């Protein structure tokens, strides 16, 4: 079986026998949803492939290929009257170099649009009776000339624009270099604004019958509202929740096919699916939908490796997704962003917002946000937070979708707290010792000496137990060995931190670990900070408040251990650890 990892060409996938999940039954819904549509999803979530699907379905020049491409698909059994009835102009703004000054970007955009118009003219030459004049220094004029020529035919134009917000994304990654250039592009008679004004005018004249835009966020549409205020956003519509992405049943079916080739049994199929669920699932784009979707790029990355080698990839984070950590860095630099990023790591108190903010421009992103929902919404659009239902007040709950994205948060915080090479080398050695022996001593000493001195001055100081748990999570996180569950659901209760050895790593001397944390203030133990430093760990352990907290934690761990033993169905070694933090300075276990 071939997997189309990194392939966004519908014709190539259909012609090459690649694995393909059929979503063509949404085409009639899209036709009825409006004529000017925008569809937003995080990076690498299959948006380009969907545009390629629309391109091939509506392309006037590909009518003879319809049966070959769509005959075996859902839409092929009941096509709409509009199939193969349009001239297609497909633009991809990621092909436009966003560097240089405004004039350079303007020319790069015009060059791209002009090239695509020339390709259209060459493709549809037999249908166009009126010449199209290409203006090298003004592609808006070229577009108007094209629309004039199309108006003399029996057909209309379908405009597809991929990564329409590419210019704003440059600002997010490099705000110092990109802000002024971007503002020139969207404000007043800026190039992007003028281009979309021309699109709106073509639609009003009936020359552009349909437009479909894809991107990551609504920021550009907000900045050019006065020039292009006719779009319908279908991004959170429940009908399109899984337009891009896979579900568990689809992945189970393909895993069963791979299993035949490599001789996997049913248990191995379920194990592989469980691993993919932990690392790649969790995305929810409509609060009306309960099901979640898998990131398609990450799923294909995993499946391609498994099909070729018969084993899981060692690194479950595809390097093509690793740049998403830049988005987390960007939000962390914004006013109040650091607090939000750190809070996102605490599933016990998930982030909640009244509603997703769907209209914000670059200026909102560069200044202190007046709306507290703004930063969380930004992380949602970037794909590093996702919808998780509503709380008791009806607010939207946002959580980290999966282990891959949690790793991005953890790595950012780890780099800030332990930036030196020697510190990281020491951390790795201590963690390896803990993974295989459960020895907490060196680990707790590292946290006392390094982490707490930094944490104590950060925004997490308002929640002592969260600081303790986050310190352990950040220090111990290793997705090459473990699936790490913060607040794992244990029947009707929740543990603090569970490290489950990855299924493919159980052959090694790694242990499962369950940790339960308690936090006590200096006042609770009756000590000053100066007195705390002088106490031995044995003396601290003998303090009544500490002894009580340890006992409570150990009782909880005993109950959790029984639940986990029943759930696992085997006698896998599980180490339990009760840890008490005192005043964000000392640890007792």
Torsion sign (Cα): 283, 74, 32, 8: positive
The neighbour count for residue 562, using CB atoms within 10 Å, is: 12
Nearest residue to 46 (alpha-carbon basis) of 298, 317, 387: 298
| C-alpha dist (Å) from residue 178 to 362, 500, 541 | 11, 43, 55
Contact indicator for 22, 197 with CB cutoff of 8 Å: no
3-state secondary structure of 573: coil
Give the number of C-alpha atoms closer than 13 A to the C-alpha of residue 495, restricted to the C-beta side: 30
pLDDT of 171: 62
Start-to-end C-alpha separation, the chain: 51
Contact indicator for 502, 442 with CB cutoff of 8 Å: no
pTM of the predicted model as reported, rounded to 2 decimal places: 0.90
Nearest residue to 239 (alpha-carbon basis) of 296, 290, 289, 284: 289
The neighbour count for residue 52, using CB atoms within 10 Å, is: 20
User: Which residues does 366 contact at the CB level (< 8 Å), separation at least 6?
Assistant: 171, 175, 179
pLDDT of 396: 95
Contact indicator for 435, 448 with CB cutoff of 8 Å: no
Q: For residues 172 and 366, what is the distance between their CA atoms, to the nearest angstrom?
A: 9
Residue 80, phi then psi, degrees to nearest 5 = -80, 160
Please give the full DSSP string across 6-32, using - where no structure is assigned.
T---HHHHHHTTB-----GGGHHHHHH
pLDDT of 325: 74
| pLDDT tens digit at each of 589 positions of the chain | 799 999 999 999 999 999 999 999 999 999 999 999 999 999 889 999 999 999 999 999 999 999 999 999 999 999 999 999 999 999 999 998 887 788 888 899 999 999 999 999 999 999 999 999 999 999 999 999 999 999 999 999 999 999 998 877 776 666 555 677 777 778 777 888 899 999 999 999 999 999 999 999 888 888 887 778 889 999 999 999 999 999 999 999 999 999 999 999 999 999 999 999 999 999 999 999 999 999 999 999 999 999 999 999 888 877 766 666 777 888 887 777 888 888 888 777 889 999 998 877 777 766 656 677 888 998 999 999 999 999 999 999 999 999 989 888 888 888 888 888 888 999 999 999 999 999 999 999 999 988 887 765 544 444 577 788 888 999 999 988 999 888 887 877 788 999 999 988 988 999 999 999 999 999 999 999 899 999 999 999 999 999 999 999 999 999 998 888 877 665 567 899 999 999 888 999 9
- Which domains does the chain show, CATH number per domain? 10-240 (3.40.50), 248-282+293-322 (no CATH), 418-588 (no CATH)
pLDDT of 482: 93
Give kind and range of the element (H or E) at residue 306: helix 296-309
């Amino acid at each position: 079986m071939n997997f189309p990892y990194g392939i966004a060409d519908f014709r190539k996938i259909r012609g090459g026998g690649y694995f393909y999940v059929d979503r063509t039954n949404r085409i009639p819904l899209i036709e009825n949803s409006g004529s000017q549509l925008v569809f937003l999803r995080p990076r690498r979530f299959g948006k380009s492939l969907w545009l390629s699907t629309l391109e091939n379905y509506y392309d006037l020049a590909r009518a003879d290929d319809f049966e070959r491409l769509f005959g075996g698909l859902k839409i092929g059994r009941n096509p709409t009257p509009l199939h193969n009835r349009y001239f297609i102009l497909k633009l991809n703004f990621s092909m436009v170099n966003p560097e240089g000054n405004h004039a350079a970007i303007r020319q790069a955009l015009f060059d791209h649009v002009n090239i695509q118009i020339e390709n259209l003219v060459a493709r549809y030459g037999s249908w166009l009776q009126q010449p199209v004049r290409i203006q090298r220094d003004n592609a808006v004029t070229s577009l108007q000339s094209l629309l004039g020529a199309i108006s003399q035919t029996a057909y209309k134009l379908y405009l597809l624009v991929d990564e329409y917000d590419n210019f704003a994304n440059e600002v997010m990654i490099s705000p110092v270099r990109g802000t002024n250039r971007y503002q020139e592009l969207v404000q007043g008679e800026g190039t992007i604004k003028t281009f979309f004004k021309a699109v709106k005018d073509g639609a009003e004249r009936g020359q552009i019958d349909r437009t479909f835009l894809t991107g990551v966020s609504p920021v550009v549409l907000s900045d050019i509202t006065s020039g292009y205020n006719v779009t319908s956003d279908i991004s959170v519509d429940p009908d399109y929740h899984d337009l891009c992405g896979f579900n568990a049943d689809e992945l189970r079916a393909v895993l069963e096919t791979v299993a035949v080739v490599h001789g996997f049994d049913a248990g191995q199929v379920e194990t592989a699916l469980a691993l993919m669920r932990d690392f790649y699932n969790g995305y929810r784009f409509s609060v009306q939908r309960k099901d979640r979707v898998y990131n398609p790029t990450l799923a294909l990355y995993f499946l391609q490796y498994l099909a070729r080698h018969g084993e899981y990839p060692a690194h479950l984070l595809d390097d093509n997704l690793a740049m998403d950590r830049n988005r987390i860095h960007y939000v962390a630099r914004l006013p109040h962003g650091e607090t939000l990023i750190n809070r996102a790591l605490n599933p016990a108190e998930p982030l909640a917002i009244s509603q997703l903010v769907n209209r914000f421009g670059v200026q909102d992103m560069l200044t202190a946000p007046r709306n507290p929902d703004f930063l969380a919404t930004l992380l949602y659009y970037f794909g590093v937070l996702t919808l998780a239902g509503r709380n008791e007040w009806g607010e939207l709950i946002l959580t980290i979708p999966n282990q891959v994205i949690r790793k991005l948060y953890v790595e950012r915080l780890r780099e800030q707290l332990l930036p030196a090479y020697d510190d990281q080398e020491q951390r790795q050695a201590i963690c390896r010792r803990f993974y295989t022996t459960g020895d907490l001593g060196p680990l707790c000493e590292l946290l006392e000496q390094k982490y707490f001195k930094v944490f104590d001055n950060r925004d997490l100081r308002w929640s002592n137990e969260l600081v303790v748990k986050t310190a352990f999570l950040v220090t111990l996180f290793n997705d090459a060995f473990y699936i790490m569950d913060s607040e794992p659901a244990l029947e009707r209760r929740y543990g603090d931190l569970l490290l489950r050895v990855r299924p493919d790593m159980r052959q090694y001397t790694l242990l499962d670990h369950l940790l339960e944390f308690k936090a006590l203030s200096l006042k609770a133990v009756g000590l000053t900070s100066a007195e705390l430093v002088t106490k031995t760990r044995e003396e601290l352990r003998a303090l009544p408040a500490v002894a009580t907290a340890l006992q409570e934690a150990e009782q909880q761990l005993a109950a959790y251990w029984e639940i986990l033993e029943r759930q696992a169905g085997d006698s896998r070694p599980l180490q339990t650890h009760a840890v008490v933090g005192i005043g964000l300075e000392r640890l007792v276990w």
